[in-house]
Amino acid sequence: MGLPNASGDLSTEVEVDAFRRLFPLRFYEKHLSESIRPDARPLGRARDTTIALGAVASANGSALAKIGSTTMLAAIKMEVMTPSTETPDEGCVAIDFHMPPICSPIVRPGRPAEAAPVVSKQLSDTILSSGMISLKELCLVSGKAAWMAYLDIYCLDADGALFDTALLSAVAAFSHLEIPVVSLNDDGKIVLLSEEQEGMSEREPVNKEKRKLTLCSIPFSLTCILHKNYILADPTAEEESIMETLVTIVLDSSSQLVSLYKPGGPVLAYTSAIQDCIAITRQRVKELQKILEEAISVMEVD
């Protein structure tokens, strides 16, 4: 009787849960070889995704996006600023991403998560460079006043694919945004016009009706894990911690590449792997577009 294979012995005798904790990588590889993931998803499938618009009443536009259990709350508040002299007819968008201590056991008060500034920068790069928002639309009085859109995204529950969920919530918040009707008063300040004052006020509103931003080429993203020859779409936090090579691809609604982000990692990606990722993302963008359209139509019915 020969000695039993050490690892084989362990995998049969040790309980599944203990095996998962002790040999996380081997646990995953066993699943991957069967083309399935521990949460019963095929490798290329993203988790269930939902969007709810108008979650925050005190903001001008807001949205709650969930991918699996990763939850993001995005809200936009519009304030007035004086535009710079170089761009007198343009407004501004300030994007900030927060990971408060409630979202994950690794974040504690006073010690912010390392991921937060990275995601924050990625988000503002993507949103501002995708051309989704025309900053000219944020102009109120050329050279005197323009809108400053403060977009704040809070991570309420962190379980992987933070950037994807944050971008989805940001895009949804912009599509929910309603710009308030304002006018210029005698002191050169911008003031709100309440509903009943409209029309009967002696002051002309600066922006005629309740305006919505025209969003062209909306960016959507998908993060994939590269591990050996496998591509895992939309990873959970556990998967991200075990297999460290991530690729995030952002495509706009007409499937044009907006950004591609591969922050290092032990797997060096071949062109073919990247192309496969882009193909999966293209599918995912169609899904996300449909989910967003549905959320907007539900909102309009209400």
In the complex, the smallest distance separating the C-beta of residue 12 from other proteins, rounded to whole angstroms, is: 30
In the complex, the smallest distance separating the C-beta of residue 269 from other proteins, rounded to whole angstroms, is: 29
- If the CB atoms of residues 99 and 247 are measured against other proteins, the closer one turns out to be 99
In the complex, the smallest distance separating the C-beta of residue 153 from other proteins, rounded to whole angstroms, is: 10
- If the CB atoms of residues 29 and 137 are measured against other proteins, the closer one turns out to be 137
- If the CB atoms of residues 130 and 281 are measured against other proteins, the closer one turns out to be 130
- If the CB atoms of residues 58 and 297 are measured against other proteins, the closer one turns out to be 58
In the complex, the smallest distance separating the C-beta of residue 270 from other proteins, rounded to whole angstroms, is: 34
In the complex, the smallest distance separating the C-beta of residue 131 from other proteins, rounded to whole angstroms, is: 12
Binding residues (CB under 8 A) for other proteins: these are 55-59, 62, 69, 71, 73, 75-84, 92-96, 98, 100-105, 108-109, 124, 128, 148, 150, 152, 154, 156-159, 180, 182-183, 185, 189-194, 197, 201, 203, 237
CA distance 66 to 276: 25
- If the CB atoms of residues 34 and 186 are measured against other proteins, the closer one turns out to be 186
List CB contacts of 1: < 8 A, sequence separation 6 or more: none
The total number of residues written for the chain in this structure: 302
In the complex, the smallest distance separating the C-beta of residue 98 from other proteins, rounded to whole angstroms, is: 8
Classify residue 147 by burial, with Cβ atoms within 10 Å: 0-12, 13-18, 19+.
buried
- If the CB atoms of residues 44 and 54 are measured against other proteins, the closer one turns out to be 54
- If the CB atoms of residues 36 and 94 are measured against other proteins, the closer one turns out to be 94
In the complex, the smallest distance separating the C-beta of residue 49 from other proteins, rounded to whole angstroms, is: 16
In the complex, the smallest distance separating the C-beta of residue 255 from other proteins, rounded to whole angstroms, is: 26
Q: For every residue of the chain, which 3-state class applies, written as one string?
A: CCCCCHHHHHHHHCCHHHHHHHCHHHHHHHHHHCCCCCCCCCCCCCCCEEEEECCCCCCCEEEEEEECCEEEEEEEEEEEECCCCCCCCCCEEEEEEECCHHHCCCCECCECCCHHHHHHHHHHHHHHHCCCCCHHHHEEECCCEEEEEEEEEEEEECCCCHHHHHHHHHHHHHHHCCECCEEECCCCCEEECCHHHCCCCCCCECCCCCECCCCCCCEEEEEEEEECCEEEECCCHHHHHHCCEEEEEEEECCCCEEEEECCCCCCCCCHHHHHHHHHHHHHHHHHHHHHHHHHHHHHHHC
- If the CB atoms of residues 65 and 75 are measured against other proteins, the closer one turns out to be 75
